[in-house]
Amino acid sequence: GGESDGDEKYYAEEMDMPGQKFETKQRITVRNLRIREDTAKYLYNLDPNSAYYDPKTRSMRENPLKNTSKEDITELKFGGDNFVRSSGDAQEMAKRQLFAWEAFERGNDIHLQADPTKLELMHKEFEKRKDEFKKTAKDSILDQYGGQEHLESLPKQLLLAQTEDYIEYSRTGSVIKGQEKAAVKSRYEEDVYNNNHKSVWGSFWREGRWGYACCHSYIKESYCTGEAGKKAEEECSLLVPSQHQATFQETKEATQVKNNAKKKNKKKKQKKKKMTKKNDDSSSTESSSSSSSSSESDSSISSSEEDEESQKKRLLKEALKAQKEHDKKMTQLLQIDERKRSYNSICDIKAPTDEEMEAFRLKMRRVDDPMANFLTD
């Protein structure tokens, strides 16, 4: 009997430790008493298939509202005991413990509970040296192989940023509303470089023909030859006279022939008139001859002016006729589908004459003219 009483006193002293409430009459240690105003853990979710509640330890490790609409643990009053265990610096403390074990294996006498300050300082020094080593390795690789410009990019927040703008488009792709100034976009493909070309078709023009600016090729589906193609094209243009130069010389020669013929006709007419005047005035006196000579000069000047006016009228009629034919040709060309048109330049290089400019002004339609709709060809 005495031994049993001594054992009970021994066990009672062992159980009566700080941090525990011991009642000698009931021999029960009381732990984890909750406040009566708080909701019990097992009352958050009454589903029997929810998180398990251990009545002996009064613990519920899993989240009771895991499979419900309230899955965000941070917004709940109670998200399970495991959430409380992993909150705060619990994860950092676990990392420090792992670091202490690895350091002890490598010969460093360090312990988390015995000397936490030494462990923290050693861990900071280790992280600092680790970052410096990574930086030196990265810099050495970049110095040897290059590529620093690819690392200096915008942050991910800016790269993946999204904006919302309400824009309405038509079937052809033009902006109906939603932007103050809509950018003009073509319905056709732009900046398409085929067959190794560095420029688009139509970027080069010479002597009425279109081509590529990168190689001066006039064939649309040709392969790019680069600078060699440019040199070859220049040599060919020097050896063989171009069609444009030939036509320009022909028109120049034709205009010179016409001008020479006109001058000859004028001289012949003036000579005939002078001869007739001399025959009529041969019997007159010297005084009358002097007056007649002055009158002859005046009459010749007036006749030449009349000839010039008649010639101008004739040239103006021809220019009006040519302008009318040109307008008809342009209307026919505009009626053709643009995909079926040939790659011809409509413009002309030679300068227009005064008669052609006058014909253009006469044929030009003015929008602000109230009588423009009553004009007929």
Cα 210 from chain centroid? 27
**Structural domain of 310:** 243-374
CB 80 within 8 Å of CB 51: yes
Instruction: Give the model's pLDDT for residue 123.
Output: 94
Residue 277 belongs to some domain of the structure: yes
Same domain assignment for residues 107 and 42: no
Is the pLDDT at 286 greater than 50, yes or no?
no
Instruction: Give the model's pLDDT for residue 171.
Output: 87
Which tokens is 332 given?
A: 């026919």
Q: Among 35-39, 244-248, 325-329, which stretch is predicted with the lowest mean pLDDT? A: 244-248
Same domain assignment for residues 306 and 364: yes
Which is more confident, 117 or 89? 117
Q: What is the mean pLDDT of residues 200-213?
A: 87
Same domain assignment for residues 249 and 363: yes
Please report which confidence band the pLDDT of residue 13 belongs to, taking 50, 70 and 90 as the band edges: low
Q: Terminus-to-terminus CA distance in the chain, angstroms?
A: 144
Instruction: Give the model's pLDDT for residue 4.
Output: 58
Residue 184 belongs to some domain of the structure: no
Q: What is the mean pLDDT of residues 33-46?
A: 84
Please report which confidence band the pLDDT of residue 130 belongs to, taking 50, 70 and 90 as the band edges: very high
Total domains in the chain come to 4
Is the pLDDT at 124 greater than 70, yes or no?
yes
Please report which confidence band the pLDDT of residue 37 belongs to, taking 50, 70 and 90 as the band edges: confident
For residue 234, the one-letter residue type is E
* Residue 169, strand partner residues: 175
Percent pLDDT > 90 in the chain is: 14
Same domain assignment for residues 103 and 124: yes
Same domain assignment for residues 287 and 254: yes
Residue 167 belongs to some domain of the structure: no
Instruction: Give the model's pLDDT for residue 140.
Output: 94
Same domain assignment for residues 257 and 334: yes
Same domain assignment for residues 313 and 281: yes
E strands, the chain, are 21-23, 28-30, 168-169, 175-177, 204-206, 209-211
Same domain assignment for residues 251 and 366: yes
Mean pLDDT (the chain, rounded): 77
* Residue 211, strand partner residues: 204
Residue 17 belongs to some domain of the structure: yes
- Whole-angstrom Cα distance, residue 196 to residue 198? 7
Is the pLDDT at 131 greater than 90, yes or no?
yes
Domain boundary among 145, 166, 185: 145
Same domain assignment for residues 321 and 350: yes
Which tokens is 132 given?
A: 């410096």
CA distances from 170 to 164, 174, 182, 184, 189 (A): 19, 5, 13, 13, 18
Which tokens is 203 given?
A: 């970027």
Percent pLDDT > 70 in the chain is: 72
pTM confidence score? 0.29
Is the pLDDT at 137 greater than 70, yes or no?
yes
Instruction: Give the model's pLDDT for residue 85.
Output: 77
Instruction: Give the model's pLDDT for residue 96.
Output: 93
Give the pLDDT confidence of 312-366 residue by residue, as tens digits: 888 888 888 888 888 888 888 778 877 777 666 556 667 778 888 888 888 777 7
Same domain assignment for residues 368 and 252: yes
Same domain assignment for residues 229 and 299: no
Q: Among 15-24, 58-67, 218-227, 261-270, which stretch is predicted with the lowest mean pLDDT? A: 15-24
Instruction: Give the model's pLDDT for residue 376.
Output: 59
Same domain assignment for residues 319 and 361: yes
Residue 109 belongs to some domain of the structure: yes
* Residue 177, strand partner residues: 168
Q: What is the mean pLDDT of residues 217-243?
A: 80
Instruction: Give the model's pLDDT for residue 285.
Output: 46
Q: How many other CB atoms are there within 10 angstroms of residue 294's CB atom? A: 10
CB 238 within 8 Å of CB 275: no
Residue 2 belongs to some domain of the structure: no
- 184-198, 256-270, 275-289: which is most confident: 184-198
* Residue 30, strand partner residues: 21
Q: What is the mean pLDDT of residues 191-201?
A: 86
Instruction: Give the model's pLDDT for residue 230.
Output: 86
Residue 26 belongs to some domain of the structure: yes
Is the pLDDT at 129 greater than 90, yes or no?
yes
Residue 97 belongs to some domain of the structure: yes
